[in-house]
Amino acid sequence: MINPFAKGYDTDTTDAALVESAQNGDRGALEKLIVRHQAWIYNIAMRMVLNPQIAEDVTQEVLIKVITKLSTFQGRSSFRTWLYRIVANHVINMKKQCLEQVITGFKYYGDELDKAPDMDLPDQNSLPVDAQLIVEEAKIGCMLGMLLCLDREQRLVYILGEIFEISDAVGSEIMEISKANFRQRLSRARKDMRNFMNEKCGLLNKNNPCRCAKKTAAWIKAGYVDPYNLLFNANYMKRVKEVSKNKNREMCDTLDEQYAALFKEHPFKNPPDFVKSLQEMLHSQRLRQILNFDA
């Protein structure tokens, strides 16, 4: 799997060749472009909206924008920059999603964690999968919920800069801000996340009483975790730390790095096949005219 944010990717000529072919009417080249980038768009979207189904819809909306605007790409920037600017603008400006209307900030989230009672896990014989898989599902869902406590720009900067470890140079190009501004926004997002987790979460700070295993049964009862339909801890082959090739920090010395490492343990989810889902649209007469595809 390619990592479009890895060092040296900007010298990769594959995107450029595929774009040129797609602009000349090669539908196969367009499909290859989608395959190269769909997983990264989907995994960004999922961390922006928390719900995998909504993330699918967001990803498809982004890909439709990319497809219909591809003829306007003139190579003034790299295709990567052009593409992920579309992603960034879409996820920042899209209609407010349902969970964003509920999770209003860190204070609200902390209060909800406090309200959830500590309970023993259900008996293993009553569960369809190993109990620890369900606890991990609860942990991932809870941490993704923490991301929603950040405003959208902070959230996206944290996802790009801290979880996927993109450089300030690439991040500033995508966000269309200066490198210094990107670093400042990332620093604020790190601070907000660190302060909350260090005050509430027991994953690193053992003085905090909150434990994933103790909250899992309450979240199952509330409907946040479904043992029969794992949303996060299923359908993946690798974790974020395995697909990221930046590896800028081998040692996690600071709290910021230690908390970021927890997010990098999360699954890098396999996306649906968006090529298949878009094939009908690619056959439409109007779109074929826009993309210069042969009849």
Flag whether 101 is in a domain: yes
3-state secondary structure 205-250: CCCCCECHHHHHHHHHHHCCCCCCCCCCCCCEEEEHHHHCCCCCCC
Q: Is residue 3 part of a domain?
A: no
pTM given for the model: 0.92
pLDDT digits (tens, 9 = 90+) for 160-193: 999 999 999 999 999 999 999 999 999 999 999 9
Domain count, the chain: 1
Token pair recorded at residue 193: 């996340």
Residue 295 has pLDDT above 50, yes or no: no
- Is 140 domain-assigned? yes
Which stretches within 50-178 are classed as H helix? 52-69, 79-93, 98-102, 106-115, 131-147, 152-158, 168-175
What's the confidence (pLDDT) of residue 12?
A: 75
- Mean pLDDT, the chain, whole residue set: 91
Q: Name the pLDDT band for 1 (thresholds 50, 70, 90).
A: confident
pLDDT of residue 219: 96
Section 276-294 average pLDDT:
62
| Assigned domain for 2 exists | no
pLDDT in tens, 223-275: 999 999 999 998 888 999 999 865 555 567 799 999 999 999 999 999 999 99
Q: Is residue 30 part of a domain?
A: yes
For residue 170, what pLDDT is reported? 95
Q: Is there a domain that residue 4 lies in?
A: no
Beta strand spans in the chain (E): 236-239, 267-269
Supply the range of the domain harboring residue 253.
9-291
Chain centroid to Cα 268, Å, comes to 8
Residue 105 near residue 196, CB atoms below 8 Å: no
Q: Is residue 51 part of a domain?
A: yes
Residue 235: the pLDDT is: 84
Q: What mean pLDDT is predicted for residues 58-79?
A: 94
Give helix 274-282 / helix 52-69 axis angle, nearest 10°. Answer: 40
pLDDT at position 276: 84
Quick one: which of 269, 248, 211, 203 has its CA closest to 46?
A: 269
Say if 160 falls within a structural domain. Answer: yes
